[in-house]
Amino acid sequence: QSALTQPASVSGSPGQSITLSCSGSNSDVGKYNLVSWYQQHPGKAPQLMIYEDAKRPSGVSNRFSGSKSGNTASLTISGLQAEDEADYYCCSYAGYTTVVFGGGTKLTVL
């Protein structure tokens, strides 16, 4: 299974909304409703932000939302804040008891 494709970097200004994309295939993202998103600050473990395409764990700000269209999943962050600056990774079940991750997007808050 190939890794999911994410843009290497995205930037936005405080207060803006930005959308991070995650492109897969009809064998992973497009086939299963099992995309998750993780935020990772430098030197820290990843933190779950979205699961099952669009569900938000308790404790995660409602500024974070997930969606999917075809083979592409998206994470939207509204009302961008300085603390949102981090790396973001998508992940999808890919069948046959395996999961694939994206290469990550570095989000810069200007």
Q: Note the residues at the interface with other proteins (CB under 8 A).
A: 3, 34, 36, 38, 44-48, 51-52, 57, 89, 91-93, 97-99, 101-104
Nearer to other proteins, 29 or 80 (CB): 29
Could you tell me the smallest distance in angstroms from the CB atom of residue 85 to other proteins? 19
Q: How far apart are CA 31 and CA 9, in angstroms?
A: 26
**CA terminus-to-terminus distance, the chain:** 35
Could you tell me the smallest distance in angstroms from the CB atom of residue 16 to other proteins? 27
Nearer to other proteins, 16 or 33 (CB): 33
Nearer to other proteins, 80 or 93 (CB): 93
* DSSP letter assigned to residue 55: B
Could you tell me the smallest distance in angstroms from the CB atom of residue 46 to other proteins? 6
Query: C-alpha 36: how far from its chain's center?
Result: 7
Amino acid at 58: S
Q: How far apart are CA 9 and CA 107, in angstroms?
A: 6
Q: How far apart are CA 95 and CA 6, in angstroms?
A: 20
Nearer to other proteins, 13 or 97 (CB): 97
